[in-house]
């Protein structure tokens, strides 16, 4: 059952600020907490980090559309998903449901009806907490699964060496934190082995070739000049 105070977090992934503001207003009236992401990659990052009890997901999104977001979410979470779309074709509804969405609302919609659908789905599923795998690391279309030692980009497996996997896991585990080269070397060689400090740069270069859309202008692994590296926190580089 849903708690009477309904303090669960609803994540709204919607690029139109008017629509997201309207949905937020009506959800907050019912006691829900809300958080908004304006693109698909940011939405996935927040879903992994915040573990919402429900996701309201627009289909037409920048950077990563709603179909891909829904597909990626279902790889690590059973959180209920309600799709928003301006398209009413049956094939779109079928596609959304086949990807794991729980419901489908066509724009323009009644915000009161949308909230009632959210509440009905939560009652039906008994979802007050998300069941994400705790060790799964997700950033946009990049997913790292420590349990299966597996990395995918856009659901496509990426072959990494053991060192590359470990380095990516260290960085992804602390998005936004800056790691110096010395600190990363210590993580790799805790026994104090003597290594060339540029070994980290070599691993970073190879990682970027494998996971970045444009390795020369990376989104995920960012250089902090004169110091080291950080993994994106979803903001500007």
pLDDT tens string 31-64: 888 999 999 999 998 998 888 999 999 999 998 8
Q: Which helix (H) or strand (E) covers residue 164, if one does?
A: helix 162-172
What is the per-residue pLDDT for 132?
47
* Residue 93, pLDDT score: 62
Burial label for 197, CB within 10 Å (0-12, 13-18, 19+), is exposed
Select from 1.10.3720.10, 1.10.10.10, 3.40.50.2000, 1.20.1050.10 the CATH code of 137-231. Answer: 1.10.10.10
Question: CATH says 9-125 is which class?
Answer: alpha beta
Burial of 166 (0-12, 13-18, 19+ CB in 10 A): middle
- Domain ranges, ordered by start, for the chain: 9-125, 137-231
**pLDDT grade, residue 110 (50/70/90)?**
very high
pTM: 0.58
Distance between CA 35 and CA 59 in Å, rounded? 17
C-alpha closest to that of 55 among 127, 153, 141: 127
Indicate the pLDDT class of residue 130, thresholds 50, 70 and 90: very low
Non-local (6+) Cβ contacts of 186 within 8 A are: none
Q: How far is CA 26 from CA 19, 20, 51, 56, 69, in A?
A: 11, 10, 21, 13, 24
Contacts of 159 (CB under 8 A, 6+ apart): 210
The answer to whether the CB of 102 falls within 8 A of the CB of 73 is no
Give yes or no on whether 9-125 and 137-231 have one common fold: no
Label residue 10 exposed, middle or buried (CB < 10 Å: 0-12, 13-18, 19+).
Answer: buried
In this prediction, residues 209-223 reach a mean pLDDT of 94
Which residues make beta-bridge pairs with 150?
145
Rounded average pLDDT over 174-195: 75
The answer to whether the peptide bond before residue 108 is cis (omega within 30 degrees of 0) is yes
């Amino acid at each position: 059952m849903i708690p009477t105070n309904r303090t669960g977090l609803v994540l709204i992934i919607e690029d139109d600020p008017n629509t997201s503001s309207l949905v937020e207003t009506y959800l907050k009236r019912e006691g829900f907490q809300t958080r908004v992401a304006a693109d698909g990659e940011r939405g996935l990052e927040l879903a992994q980090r915040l573990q919402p009890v429900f996701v309201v997901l627009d289909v037409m999104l920048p950077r990563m559309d709603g179909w891909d977001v829904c597909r990626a979410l279902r790889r690590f979470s059973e959180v209920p998903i309600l799709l928003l779309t301006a398209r009413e074709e049956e094939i779109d509804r079928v596609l959304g449901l086949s990807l794991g969405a729980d419901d489908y609302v066509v724009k323009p919609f009644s915000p009161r009806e949308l909230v009632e659908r959210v509440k009905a789905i939560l009652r039906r599923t008994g979802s007050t907490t998300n069941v994400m795998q705790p060790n799964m690391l997700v950033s946009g279309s990049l997913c790292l699964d420590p349990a299966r030692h597996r990395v995918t980009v856009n659901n496509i497996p990426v072959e990494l060496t053991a060192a590359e996997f470990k380095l990516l896991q260290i960085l992804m585990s602390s998005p936004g934190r800056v790691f110096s080269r010395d600190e990363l070397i210590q993580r790799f060689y805790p026994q104090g082995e003597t290594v060339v400090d540029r070994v980290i740069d070599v691993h970073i270069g190879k990682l970027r070739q494998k996971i970045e859309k444009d390795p020369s202008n990376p989104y995920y692994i960012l250089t902090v000049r004169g110091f080291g590296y950080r993994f994106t926190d979803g903001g500007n580089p």
